[in-house]
Structure 1
Amino acid sequence: MIPMTLAYVIHLLGAVLWVGGMAFGLLALRPALGELAGPQRLAVMAGAYRRFFLVVWHAMPALIITGYILLFGWFGGFAGAGWHVHVMHLTGLIMAAIFVVLFFVPWRGLRAALAAGDTARAAAAAERLRWMITANLALGLVTVAVAGWGRFGG
């Protein structure tokens, strides 16, 4: 059985990688790429998304698994968990669902459009990705705030 402290550390690292990666992509990388021409910008974003989504495919299951380990091993189940754990559970599952949809719909569309040389369709898919990642970032920031507030603020 995994020690609770190790599960907690893995859980925190997964959250930092996922939420921090979204923040970096939206708040730093995307604006910096504004100086590139459209096709170049799309190519760089596609490369960054490919690498970041690989990170998320590892961080997301680690978060979910360690979340349940902590829920049942540390809190003794849903009945023993505070309100913040219930909120984290809900927002985490919503974030995972949004990620799965964005990966299999607009991300695949972006890759297909780039492979076909259709920059207009690729740009539309990239815009859908941006909106979905923005929604996930907002949920992720709320989740982090709830985690800190519930753990230390009551």
Structure 2
Amino acid sequence: MGNLAFALHVVFAALWVGGMGFAILALRPALAVLEPPQRLALMGRVHKRFFLVVWHAMPIVLLTGYWLLFGHFGGFRSVGWHVHLMHLTGLLMAAIYLAIFFGPWRAMRAALAAGELPRAAAANERIRQLVTANLLLGLFTLGIAAWGRLG
């Protein structure tokens, strides 16, 4: 069962962090060819789909992490520093995601529905900033996981 938990943990972490990487490093720059109203409409749809994915991935990553921590490794006393650091960064990433979802994403949806493009653009920019921070934190977490696993 530990192998299943580890596989789910890694796959859903890769999905979450990889999705953020794609959004920031590939999708966002490519959207420059669209006019602002089209860009905002598309980003509204992209965010909706991606945040739905993260609503599933984030709890799976956290739950499988605890499954491994307590069911396989025997708790916090039995693991190395890297697991403690991954735990902290994973909780921070989840908190940032929740802040995005209930803050600027909610504001962007309302602004798009009301046709208030400047307000939607401001919310989308805040989403970009927070997703970028979460991406950097996610990449750091993956690096810690790899380093701790082999180091």
Under TM normalisation by the shorter chain, which class is it? over 0.9
Question: Which residue matches 1:84?
Answer: 82
Could you say what the CA RMSD is over the residues aligned between the two structures, in angstroms? Answer: 0.5
Q: How many residues align?
A: 151
Mark the runs of 5 or more structure 2 residues left unpaired by the alignment. none
Q: Which residue, out of 111, 135, 138, partners 1:137? A: 135
Q: Is 2:146 the counterpart of 1:148?
A: yes
Over residues 75-117 of structure 1, what are the superposed CA-to-partner deviations in whole Å (9 max), with x where a residue is unaligned? 1100001111001000000000000010001001001001111
Q: Which residue, out of 51, 54, 71, partners 2:52? A: 54
Question: Which residue matches 2:95?
Answer: 97
Question: CA–CA distance in 2 between the matches of 1:104 and 1:141?
Answer: 23
Identity of aligned residues (%): 63
Alignment of structure 1 residues 1-154 onto 2, 5 Å: 3-152=1-150, 154=151
Question: CA–CA distance in 2 between the matches of 1:31 and 1:111?
Answer: 22
| Structure 2 SS opposite 1:76 | coil
Mark the runs of 5 or more structure 1 residues left unpaired by the alignment. none
Over residues 36-85 of structure 1, what are the superposed CA-to-partner deviations in whole Å (9 max), with x where a residue is unaligned? 00010001011011000010000000001000000012211000011110
TM-score, normalized by length of structure 1? 0.97
Question: CA–CA distance in 2 between the matches of 1:57 and 1:10?
Answer: 15
Question: CA–CA distance in 2 between the matches of 1:15 and 1:26?
Answer: 17
Question: CA–CA distance in 2 between the matches of 1:92 and 1:42?
Answer: 29
Question: CA–CA distance in 1 between the matches of 2:81 and 2:33?
Answer: 45
Question: CA–CA distance in 2 between the matches of 1:79 and 1:123?
Answer: 46
Amino acid at match of 1:110: M
